[in-house]
């Protein structure tokens, strides 16, 4: 069984399970891949540029992100990849005000020693700090500031507002 085959929209079984927000099917696909020594397409995108981590962040599903990170011991997740609208996992987690997912993404970026994009904007000129301020979420703002200070690369606080 080819569990990475794509349909006309570029969806493959793992990405469909994530789009449907189905933890159980996601687990089954990961277990099947592990048991049969099959490499899951965890960094493949559909026609809209969505990959598993990005779509999971959009769905706001902490458990599936945990499953992907655990599976990713075999292959690193692309944590800064953008879709066609310029959304990326951290920006979606900030949009959803999901502290758990934000922290999980930050911790994973530290684990794999890849800097998390904190100043990148999407096609709508939205970026994490400004979006957190628009959402009036002081806790997210503090997390972003702490992360930037820890990494020694300050956040861009002079960017123009969102259009």
127 in any annotated domain: yes
Q: CB burial class (10 A; 0-12, 13-18, 19+) of residue 158?
A: exposed
pLDDT reported for residue 74: 66
| pLDDT for the residue numbered 159 | 61
Q: Specify the CATH number for the domain of residue 71.
A: 1.25.40.20
Question: Which two tokens mark 96?
Answer: 């959803």
Q: Residue 57's CB: how many other CB atoms inside 10 A?
A: 30
Q: Please tell me the predicted confidence (pLDDT) of residue 100.
A: 98
- The verdict on residue 161 lying in a domain is no
Residues of the chain with pLDDT under 50: 162-163
The answer to whether residue 3 sits within a structural domain is no
81: which residues sit within 8 A by CB, 6+ positions away?
A: 43, 45, 49, 51, 53, 54, 88, 89
What pLDDT does 73 receive?
A: 79
Instruction: Give me the DSSP letters along the chain.
Output: --TT---TTS--HHHHHHHTT-HHHHHHHHHHHHHTT----TT---TTS--HHHHHHHHT-HHHHHHHHHHTTSS---TT---TT---HHHHHHHTT-HHHHHHHHHHHHHHT-PPPSS---TTS--HHHHHHHTT-HHHHHHHHHHHHHHT------PPPP-
- Sequence-distant (6+) residues with CB within 8 A of 55 are 15, 18, 19
For residues 64 and 67, give the distance between their C-alpha atoms in angstroms, rounded to a whole number.
5
120 inside domain: yes
pLDDT digits (tens, 9 = 90+) for 38-68: 999 999 999 999 999 999 999 999 999 999 9
Asked if residue 1 belongs to a domain, the reply is no
In a domain, 33, yes or no: yes
The answer to the question of residue 4 being in a domain is no
Residue 8 maps to a domain: no
- State the residue range of the domain holding 56: 13-151
- Domain count along the chain: 1
């Amino acid at each position: 069984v080819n569990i990475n085959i794509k349909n006309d929209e570029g969806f493959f079984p793992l990405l469909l399970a994530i789009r449907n927000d189905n933890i159980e099917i996601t687990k089954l696909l990961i277990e099947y891949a592990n048991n049969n020594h099959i490499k899951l397409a965890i960094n493949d995108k559909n026609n809209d540029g969505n990959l598993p981590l990005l779509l999971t962040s959009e769905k706001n599903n902490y458990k599936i992100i945990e499953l992907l990170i655990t599976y990713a011991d075999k292959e690193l997740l692309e944590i800064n990849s953008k879709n066609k609208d310029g959304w990326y996992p951290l920006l979606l987690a900030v949009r959803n005000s999901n502290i758990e997912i934000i922290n999980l993404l930050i911790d994973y970026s530290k684990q794999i020693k890849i800097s998390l994009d904190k100043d990148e904007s999407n096609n709508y000129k939205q970026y994490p700090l400004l979006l957190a301020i628009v959402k009036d979420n002081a806790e997210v703002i503090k997390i972003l500031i702490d992360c930037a200070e820890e990494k020694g690369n300050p956040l861009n606080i002079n960017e123009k507002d969102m259009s």
